A = this chain, B = another copy of it.
């Protein structure tokens, strides 16, 4: 196959786009896709201060890399989740990436934020699935870091496969509240929220992996050990089969949703959040999801301490 742009020998074949690219043209293609998404969805400008949440995986590091290349003002945000070796390894990759490009990086760690706040501990104490606990904790610390650091925008590296899997899950149960808020740009609904955007939402996992490979980004290859058997992977598998039978399925699913169906759901979006009584961050009830988790962890620790005091 020949490169669709320059007719040299193609190194990558994108069935969903019915196109092939040589290495320089692929990098150009990838950058343009990101630029177009930023422009079309009015994600942010070169004047704004961007906080990029980076996990050490290919998607978030590819995002940070391409934005730095394009001249945006980026700062990385790494949150240590306390998931054993997986977390240690990912932190090292992120720090090495930032150092090699002289990019500013904020590092925080759940276990340093309070006792028992590492993801496995919270999951056990609150009897929640690790992914649910992790999601709530990440959202809280990402939002807080963006607000405290006075950033204009919070960015995540969610790719097309992530968005398609999330959309499929929301659609299979017609979760209208979730569908009302699944879009590539979320305007802040509270003074302590900043705009949240996903510039890679139309680029597949394969496309970000190729970009990271070609740019020699050293990223964490292992999946999070908690992800095995997660529902998201069942959805991704189903979508991969549909994609194989009809290339372009995922792209059409997400793109057309955002264009024509999402507005129908967004009309019924729930009210703006109030203030969490504990931490002051946005909350839909008296407490935000994070403080709800923290209370449960504290209650568990208090019970355990009381039992230990009784010599049980």
Residues of A within 8 A of B (CB): 171-174, 176, 231, 234-235, 237-238, 241-242, 245-246, 249, 252-253, 256-257, 259-261, 264-265, 268
Between A and B, 21 residue pairs with Cβ closer than 8 Å are A171-B171, A171-B253, A173-B253, A174-B252, A174-B253, A174-B256, A174-B257, A174-B259, A174-B260, A174-B261, A176-B260, A176-B261, A231-B246, A234-B241, A234-B242, A234-B246, A235-B242, A241-B241, A264-B264, A264-B265, A264-B268
- Shortest A287–chain B CB gap in Å is 28
Asked whether, in the complex, the Cβ of B172 is within 8 Å of the Cβ of A249, the reply is yes
**Given A172-B252, A235-B242, 13 other A-B residues pairs in contact with their CB atoms under 8 A:** A171-B171, A172-B242, A172-B249, A173-B252, A173-B256, A174-B256, A174-B259, A231-B245, A234-B246, A238-B242, A241-B241, A264-B265, A264-B268
Among A174, A231, A249, A264, the one with the most B-chain Cβ atoms within 10 Å of its Cβ is A174
The answer to whether residues A245 and B252 also contact, given A261-B176, A264-B265 and a CB cut-off of 8 A, is no
Q: Measured between alpha carbons, how far is A257 from B265 in the docked complex, in Å? A: 13
- Shortest A103–chain B CB gap in Å is 38
Closest residue on chain B to residue A262 by CB atoms: B174
Closest residue on chain B to residue A257 by CB atoms: B174
Asked whether, in the complex, the Cβ of B253 is within 8 Å of the Cβ of A172, the reply is yes
Residues of B contacting A253 with CB < 8 Å? 171-174
Select A234's contact among B237, B245, B260, beta carbons within 8 Å.
B245
The 3 A-B pairs with the shortest beta carbon distances in the complex, nearest first, are: A174-B256, A234-B245, A264-B264
Q: Measured between alpha carbons, how far is A171 from B173 in the docked complex, in Å? A: 13
Residues of B contacting A260 with CB < 8 Å? 174, 176
Closest residue on chain B to residue A167 by CB atoms: B171
Closest residue on chain B to residue A249 by CB atoms: B172
Q: Measured between alpha carbons, how far is A244 from B241 in the docked complex, in Å? A: 15
Q: Measured between alpha carbons, how far is A125 from B7 in the docked complex, in Å? A: 39
Q: Measured between alpha carbons, how far is A252 from B171 in the docked complex, in Å? A: 10
Among A237, A238, A257, the one with the most B-chain Cβ atoms within 10 Å of its Cβ is A238
Residues of B contacting A235 with CB < 8 Å? 242
Q: Measured between alpha carbons, how far is A216 from B79 in the docked complex, in Å? A: 63
Closest residue on chain B to residue A250 by CB atoms: B172
- Shortest A262–chain B CB gap in Å is 9
Q: Measured between alpha carbons, how far is A14 from B261 in the docked complex, in Å? A: 34
Residues of B contacting A264 with CB < 8 Å? 264-265, 268
Residues of B contacting A257 with CB < 8 Å? 174
